[in-house]
Amino acid sequence: MNWDIVEGNWKQFKGKAQEQWGKLTDDTLEVIAGKRDQLAGKVQEAYGISKDEAETQVKEFEERNKDYKP
């Protein structure tokens, strides 16, 4: 997944991220603005998980959405 594309189309991806991580608020997702490292950090913070687990979840999110074409 190309994160430059994700950043450019964050409004579409924001819904997908909220489906996966329901604890992330709209405001939090706006702040993330498609930045991968911020997404992983906010997932870690919201769910009280390790950095490695958050990274794993973001990688799985990438895999599920790798064929997305804006």
Q: Express each pLDDT in 7-18 by its tens digit.
A: 888 988 899 999
CA–CA distance from 37 to each of 18, 21, 33 (Å)?
16, 15, 11
Residue 9, CB half-sphere, CA atoms under 13 Å: how many? 13
Residue spans of the domains in the chain: they are 3-64
pTM for the structure as a whole: 0.87
Q: Express each pLDDT in 20-49 by its tens digit.
A: 999 999 999 999 999 999 999 999 999 999
What's the CATH architecture for 3-64?
Orthogonal Bundle (1.10)
Cα 4 from chain centre = 13
Q: Which two tokens stand for residue 42?
A: 């906010």
Distance CA 29, CA 11 (A): 9
3-class DSSP assignment, residue 32: helix
